[in-house]
Chains A and B, each alone.
Chain A
Amino acid sequence: MTLEDYANFSNYAIASATAVLALAWLASVAQWAFGSKAVRAKNTIPVAEPALVGAGASWTSGASADTGDSDGALAEERSDLSGRISLSLTILALGILLAGVVTRGLAAERVPWGNMYEFAMTGISVVLVGYLVMVFWMKIDWLAPLVLGFSVVMLGLSMTVYVPAGPLVPALDSYWLVIHVAAAIIAGAGFLIGAGASILYLVKSRAEAAPGGPKGYLSRLPRAAAMDQLAYRVTAFSFPVWTFAALISGPIWAEHAWGRPWGWDPKEVWAFITWVAYAGYLHARATAGWKGRAAAILALVAFTTFLFSFVGVNLFFPGLHSYAK
Chain B
Amino acid sequence: MADKIRGPKGSGAAPALSTVSTLRWAWRQLTSMRTALFLLLLLALAAVPGSIVPQRSVDPRAVAAYFERHPDLAPVLDKLGAFHVYTSVWFSAIYLLLMASLVGCIIPRVGVYARALRARPPKAPRNLSRLPASTSYETTADVEKVLADAAKSLGMARKDTVTETDDSGTVVAGEVRAERGYLRELGNLVFHISLVVVLVGVASMSLLGYRGNAIVAEGGGYSNTLTQFDEFTAGGLFDTDDLPPFSMTLDDFDARFELDGPQRGAPRSFVARGTVTDKPGDEPRPYELKVNHPLRVDGASVYLVGQGYAPVVRVTDGDGRVVFEDAVPFLPADATYTSNGVVKVPDARPTQLGFQGFFLPTAVATGEEEIPGSAHPAAANPLLGLFAYYGDLGLDDGEAQSVYVLDKDELTQFMGDDGKPLRLMLTPGESVSLPDGKGSIEFVELRQFARFQFSAQPGVMVPLWGVSVGAIGLVLSLMIRPRRTWVRARRREDGTTVVEVAALDRVPRSDVEQSVDDLAGRLKDRTGHTGSGYDTASEPASSPVAVATEDVHTKAAASEDEA
**A interface residues, Cβ below 8 angstroms from B:** 163-164, 166-167, 169-171, 173-174, 176, 226, 229, 232, 236-237, 239-240, 243-244, 247-248, 251-253, 255-266, 269-270, 272-273, 276-277, 279-280, 282-290, 298, 305, 313, 317-319
- A-contact bits for B85-105, CB 8 A (1 contact / 0 none): 110000000000000000000
- A-contact bits for B48-67, CB 8 A (1 contact / 0 none): 10111001011000100000
B474 touches A239 (CB 8 A): yes
Give the distance to chain B from A200, nearest Cβ to Cβ, in Å: 17
Query: In the complex, which residues of chain A have a beta carbon less than 8 angstroms from the beta carbon of B563?
Result: 286
Partner of A317, one of B2, B51, B258, B478: B51
A243 to B301, CA, bound (A): 26
CB of B464 closer than 8 Å to a CB of A: yes
Give the distance to chain B from A285, nearest Cβ to Cβ, in Å: 6
B291 touches A173 (CB 8 A): yes
B455 touches A169 (CB 8 A): no
Query: In the complex, which residues of chain A have a beta carbon less than 8 angstroms from the beta carbon of B2?
Result: 286
CB-contacts of B182-232 with A (<8 A): 202, 211
Known contacts A169-B267, A256-B293; A287 and B37 CB within 8 A of each other: yes
Query: In the complex, which residues of chain B have a beta carbon less than 8 angstroms from the beta carbon of A305?
Result: 44
User: What are 26 pairs between A and B in contact, CB < 8 Å?
Assistant: A163-B262, A163-B263, A166-B262, A169-B266, A170-B269, A170-B270, A171-B291, A173-B292, A239-B478, A240-B474, A243-B471, A248-B467, A255-B294, A258-B305, A259-B211, A260-B455, A263-B57, A264-B57, A264-B85, A269-B51, A276-B43, A280-B41, A286-B561, A287-B3, A298-B41, A317-B51
A283 touches B457 (CB 8 A): no
Known contacts A169-B267, A259-B211, A286-B563; A248 and B202 CB within 8 A of each other: no
B290 touches A286 (CB 8 A): no
Query: In the complex, which residues of chain A have a beta carbon less than 8 angstroms from the beta carbon of B74?
Result: none
For the complex, count residues of B whose C-beta is within 8 A of A: 62
Considering the complex, give the chain B residue whose CB is closest to the CB of A172. Answer: B292
Give the distance to chain A from B265, nearest Cβ to Cβ, in Å: 11
CB of B463 closer than 8 Å to a CB of A: yes
B50 touches A269 (CB 8 A): yes
CB of B380 closer than 8 Å to a CB of A: no
Query: In the complex, which residues of chain B have a beta carbon less than 8 angstroms from the beta carbon of A244?
Result: 471
User: Given contacts A243-B470, A260-B211, A286-B562, could you give 19 more A-B pairs where the C-beta distance is less than 8 Å?
Assistant: A166-B262, A167-B263, A167-B268, A170-B270, A170-B292, A239-B478, A247-B471, A255-B457, A259-B294, A259-B455, A269-B47, A269-B50, A276-B40, A276-B44, A280-B41, A283-B33, A287-B34, A317-B52, A319-B58
Query: In the complex, which residues of chain A have a beta carbon less than 8 angstroms from the beta carbon of B86?
Result: 264
B474 touches A280 (CB 8 A): no
CB of B554 closer than 8 Å to a CB of A: no
Query: In the complex, which residues of chain B have a beta carbon less than 8 angstroms from the beta carbon of A284?
Result: 37
CB-contacts of B1-54 with A (<8 A): 1-3, 9, 33-34, 36-37, 40-41, 43-44, 47-48, 50-52
Known contacts A260-B455, A260-B457, A270-B51; A170 and B268 CB within 8 A of each other: yes
* Candidate in A164, A176, A269 with the most chain B CB atoms within 10 angstroms: A269
CB of B475 closer than 8 Å to a CB of A: yes
Query: In the complex, which residues of chain B have a beta carbon less than 8 angstroms from the beta carbon of A247?
Result: 467, 471
Known contacts A164-B262, A239-B478, A260-B457; A171 and B292 CB within 8 A of each other: yes
CB-contacts of B297-344 with A (<8 A): 301, 303, 305
Query: In the complex, which residues of chain A have a beta carbon less than 8 angstroms from the beta carbon of B43?
Result: 276
A166 touches B303 (CB 8 A): no
B51 touches A313 (CB 8 A): yes
A248 touches B262 (CB 8 A): no
A261 to B466, CA, bound (A): 14
* Candidate in A226, A266, A313 with the most chain B CB atoms within 10 angstroms: A266
A251 to B466, CA, bound (A): 13
Partner of A283, one of B1, B261, B293, B509: B1
B37 touches A290 (CB 8 A): yes
Partner of B468, one of A248, A264, A289: A248
Query: In the complex, which residues of chain B have a beta carbon less than 8 angstroms from the beta carbon of A259?
Result: 211, 294, 301, 303, 305, 453, 455
CB-contacts of B230-282 with A (<8 A): 258, 261-263, 266-270
